[in-house]
Chain A
Amino acid sequence: MDCVELGATATPRKKIKVLIVDDSAIVRKIFSQELSRQEDIEVVGTAPDPYVAREKIVRLRPDVITLDIEMPRMDGLSFLRKLMKYFPVPAVIVSSLTPKNSEMALEAMECGAVEVLAKPGGSYSVGDMSVQLVEKIRAASQARLSPVQQGGATSPQKPGHAEWSKALRTTTHKIIAMGASTGGTEALKSVLTQMPPTSPGIVVVQHMPPRFTTAFAERLNSLCDIEVREARNGDSVLPGLALVAPGNYHMLLRRSGGTYCVEIKNGPLVCHQRPSVDVLFHSVAQHAGSNALGVIMTGMGKDGAKGLLEMRQAGAHTIAQDEASCVVYGMPREAVRCGAVESVVSLGEIPRTVLRILSS
């Protein structure tokens, strides 16, 4: 299995070898420049098209590639599919912020890419992008490309509607909060596609650039029994509905009379992220207390650990995705380490565990 062990000790690590695949000479130059400033990253090469990229991947064995999804000479997706088949390597998708490209980027995640990065444009500057680029390359370098039990299709058994409705009879006031990062798009898809229309309201933070979160919510909505949409400020959290935090904004849970709703707001990056899982979980701990159920899933870093601990201390049940099924076992590990987690389960077991907790 092509997996990079996540060492707990901070031994001096080898540099992350990066290959930049992009048809734009300017992008290749900017990326090379920005990345060469990092001590832990080495750009081993660049490629203007998939054919050259293949040659260099075979020859230079990069740890991570950045891949422009819109290349002229070969459809970026077919390239990625082949790459994952013949020379699996963690890929960071670089895409501009158009709806079509957002969809392609999501498809790329389904093909095995682990991160997506927005090309600079509009108010989103090269500087903003550089920070993200470095973060995402570091996260991708930690990714295991074939986590155990990937996706819902291989999960043991989808709980039947009868089981759910029994469990959910008295749970209309409950809410489920989920947070994920690297590898999260596929993990969330696997969990949310198993949730029934009678599910308690769900609030989700997935680290992703704006627009991509829109496309992600739309994609999930087309696949799930529940309704999934990108959250707007003031949206109520209702049974059978999942709200996905929009990229570049924080999402917080609020109480409004007898129900919950979300507040979407700007603010500083938390744990290098916006939306931040910690921000969401913190607000859930404050407003929903023991009515909430928190799930922390695959991803690099620490975002969500602190918030999940607050949730647990407020009486909420908490679940972390286990190491074997994670693309990057970072956020769940941190949550486990600080004592925020009640149950550690594999990706495929998350829906069943949620069901068990809700029915007890």
Chain B
Amino acid sequence: MPYNILIVDDSRSMRKVIRKVLDLSGFQMGECVEAGNGREALELLESHWIDLVLSDIHMPVMDGIGFIRALRNNQSWSDLPVVFITTESNEDRLQEAMDLGAKGYIRKPFQPEEIRSLLCQIMGESDGVPRAFSDEGCDF
């Protein structure tokens, strides 16, 4: 059951790392597109049907909070799952992200396993949700 992923981070390296972690964790990835900030992400969403967004918070042009707020104000994406992967440590800001409907957050630096287990929780084995991870398991 492949899922289409959008990775939003102003660091190209970070986007590559996240993509790699997903690959190695056995995540069933369909299309994977990348954006450098929230504005670019919104533009990409116009033409790509995305199932899950992994986004940074600190970004130029439009940050992760502005981005998720824009998503929630658009009926097409109001239920799009968003996970933040961020250096943000400000609890108020992380809470704000959660209040805006983020599915969770992971603090950088992260262990690959943290991403896998959070995504398992969100898109994984739970009832009624198609499995997001292959049976071969992960390869960290």
Contacts and interface: CB of A to CB of B under 8 A. Distances in A.
Direct contact of A and B (CB under 8 A): yes
Interface of A: 49, 51-52, 54-55, 72-73, 75, 78, 81-82, 85-87
26 contacts: A49-B130, A51-B1, A51-B2, A51-B3, A51-B51, A51-B130, A52-B1, A54-B49, A55-B2, A55-B30, A72-B128, A73-B128, A73-B129, A73-B130, A75-B79, A78-B79, A81-B75, A81-B76, A82-B49, A82-B76, A85-B49, A85-B76, A86-B47, A86-B48, A86-B49, A87-B49
A55 B3 CA distance: 10
Interface residues of B, number: 14
Contacts of A51: 1-3, 51, 130
Q: Is the interface of B mostly helix, strand, loop or mixed?
A: loop
A54 to B, nearest CB: 7
Nearest to A86: B49
Nearest to A84: B76
Nearest to B3: A51
A76 to B, nearest CB: 13
Contacts of A86: 47-49
Nearest to A49: B130
A21 B128 CA distance: 16
Contacts of B79: 75, 78
A69 to B, nearest CB: 16
Nearest to B79: A78
A142 to B, nearest CB: 26
A169 to B, nearest CB: 42
A250 B128 CA distance: 42
Contacts of A49: 130
